[in-house]
Amino acid sequence: MHISDRFRPSLALLTDLYQLTMAQGYWKKKLAEQEAVFHLYFRKNPFNGGYTVAAGLADAIDFLQHLQFTPEDTAYLGSLRGSKNQPLFEAGFLAYLEQMRFTCDVAAIPEGTVVFPNEPLLRISGPILQCQLVETPLLNIINFQTLVATKATRIVEAAQGDPVMEFGMRRAQGPDGSLSASRAAFIGGVGATSNLLAGQIFNIPVKGTHAHSWVMSFDEEQDAFAAYADVFPDDSVFLVDTYNTIAGIKKAVKVAKKLREQGHELVGIRLDSGDLAYLSKEGRRLFDEAGLSNVSIVASNDLDEYLIQSLKLQGARIDTWGIGTKLVTAYDQPALGGVYKLAALRNLTTGQWEYKLKLSEQLAKISTPGIQQVRRFYNEQGFLADMIYSEETEPSSTLIDPNDVTRRKTLANNTIFQDLLVPIFKQGKQVYQNPDLRSIQQYARHQVQQLHETIRRFLNPHVYPVGLESNLFNQKLEIILKLRQGEKA
């Protein structure tokens, strides 16, 4: 199979096998249309941070809009065999899949919103078979982009207003990993990417320099710089560390002076190895002494928020940061760990909702029941607290941390609030207009600024108050106790 064949028009099979075996089970037992509610959420902020930035919704919407099993899809499913070499899937079920169209309601927290553990990023409501089928692809899309957007936000925060570029395509996890990472990094505040396809698809500005091979292909380093400047007289950034960095900078100064004589300006140099603090200071000194203060110094070399913060403290004279591996791979935490749990099921006899809960010996893994919404309280200084509540109950003003019941917060009745989950699909029809990517980036930047600086810090951040509304907490506790009692029976 060619690489271009992997990204097919139909992505219905972009899922785990057990989603299809469960779907056949629902269909076979005549439960396929039973109404259910699922929530997608995560349990812990990534990178030991104090917040997370939601991303990936636009791609999730696109997936759901085009969810349809083609004859090629069902032919493949029909070829699968069970342990006794019998067809794994029945012909009637495969015919059902071909006719099926997505009819669920979807509510989601918009991209760029700062979010926290246990808050539903998406709520999927509708026939249980359809809700089940979309679990894996939604997690695949939301988990990764949310992770990278959060990492990018932290890196941009460390840069303190300096431009940040994403240079990570060559280290990304495959073609789609690189495209998704470029998109998510832009949401997180990165200003440009080296990935041309991402630039074309998402309208992200593209930037780049040249490689060491360009310099090595000439007998003299200065000749390489001069040749590049001849081709790009107004857009040259020289990579100066192929041999000796200080010597390379001095040669770049000479070429920059000649460029100026010809009516052009050198844009900058890039440092990709060595002591970046020292080399950037020396580079700045040499360019300033030559009257070339306009020349920018770009740094790369496995940078992340911690290294940028350290270089800033050392007084490094770096103007622009090029971030690759540590960003697009979310190097220090390669997975968000988002989950997708059933929270309510419509009783086929009574028509009433029955709240569902996954029990666990680990407190953090006990899911929350109910048809959930997230309410954010704030004032003119910023965000105050988030409350997860059930839409079926009028919320109280008290929230309780489900992992530590001694942590409670009561909000004044006149506190301003906003409910974060907004309608995306109604009965399978999209009712939400995706903002353009730059608007999402600006929104994300504003969202992060609404958090207190103690929550935004990288080490030992303050914990932002998030809890269950007291009625929902009590409902959850009641279900837990009932299930625990059933274990003893």
Tens digits of residue pLDDT in 363-376: 889 999 999 999 99
Q: Which domain holds residue 192?
A: 154-329
DSSP 302-347: S--HHHHHHHHHTT----EEEE-HHHHTTTT------EEEEEEEE-
On whether residue 270 sits in a domain, the answer given is yes
* Gap between the Cα atoms of 156 and 112, Å rounded: 14
Indicate if 160 and 273 belong to the same structural domain.
yes
Domain end among 58, 83, 101: 101
Tens digits of residue pLDDT in 403-413: 888 999 999 99
Tell me the CA distances in angstroms from 236 to 165, 247, 425, one per residue in order.
16, 18, 47
- Residue range 56-65: mean pLDDT, rounded: 96
Query: Into how many domains does the chain fold?
Result: 2
Instruction: Give the chain's mean pLDDT.
Output: 96
On whether residue 20 sits in a domain, the answer given is yes
For residue 341, the cross-strand partners are 39
Residue 167 clears pLDDT 90, i.e. is over it: yes
Residue 158 clears pLDDT 50, i.e. is over it: yes
On whether residue 448 sits in a domain, the answer given is no
On whether residue 19 sits in a domain, the answer given is yes
Tokens 């029976």 locate to 489
Indicate if 239 and 317 belong to the same structural domain.
yes
pLDDT range class, residue 87, cuts 50, 70, 90 = very high
Tens digits of residue pLDDT in 186-204: 999 999 999 999 999 999 9
Domain end among 277, 306, 329: 329
pLDDT range class, residue 6, cuts 50, 70, 90 = low
Kindly give the pairing relationship between strand 164-166 and strand 320-323: parallel
Domain end among 329, 355, 372: 329
Indicate if 210 and 300 belong to the same structural domain.
yes
Indicate if 97 and 174 belong to the same structural domain.
no
Residue 1 clears pLDDT 50, i.e. is over it: no
Indicate if 262 and 192 belong to the same structural domain.
yes
On whether residue 124 sits in a domain, the answer given is no
Tens digits of residue pLDDT in 325-383: 999 999 999 999 999 999 999 999 999 999 999 999 898 899 999 999 999 999 999 99
On whether residue 373 sits in a domain, the answer given is no
Residue 487 clears pLDDT 80, i.e. is over it: no
What is residue 144's three-state secondary structure? Answer: helix
Indicate if 161 and 78 belong to the same structural domain.
no
On whether residue 225 sits in a domain, the answer given is yes
Residue 30 clears pLDDT 50, i.e. is over it: yes
Residue 8 clears pLDDT 80, i.e. is over it: no
- Residue range 413-420: mean pLDDT, rounded: 96
Tens digits of residue pLDDT in 67-81: 999 999 999 999 999
Determine the distance from the C-alpha atom of residue 285 to the mean position of all C-alpha atoms in its chain, rounded to a whole number: 39
Q: pTM above the 0.85 mark?
A: yes
Indicate if 189 and 89 belong to the same structural domain.
no
CATH number at residue 192: 3.20.20.70
Indicate if 80 and 189 belong to the same structural domain.
no
Indicate if 161 and 294 belong to the same structural domain.
yes
In sequence order, the 6+-apart residues with CB closer than 8 A to the CB of 442 are none
The fraction of the chain above a pLDDT of 90, given in percent, is: 94
Indicate if 6 and 80 belong to the same structural domain.
yes
* Gap between the Cα atoms of 37 and 353, Å rounded: 10
On whether residue 223 sits in a domain, the answer given is yes
145: left (phi over 0), alpha (psi -120 to 50) or beta: alpha
Residue 285 clears pLDDT 50, i.e. is over it: yes
Indicate if 174 and 74 belong to the same structural domain.
no
pLDDT range class, residue 42, cuts 50, 70, 90 = very high
Asked if 392 and 343 count as a contact pair (C-beta separation under 8 A), the reply is no
pLDDT the model gives residue 9: 75
pLDDT the model gives residue 10: 83
Residue 293 clears pLDDT 60, i.e. is over it: yes
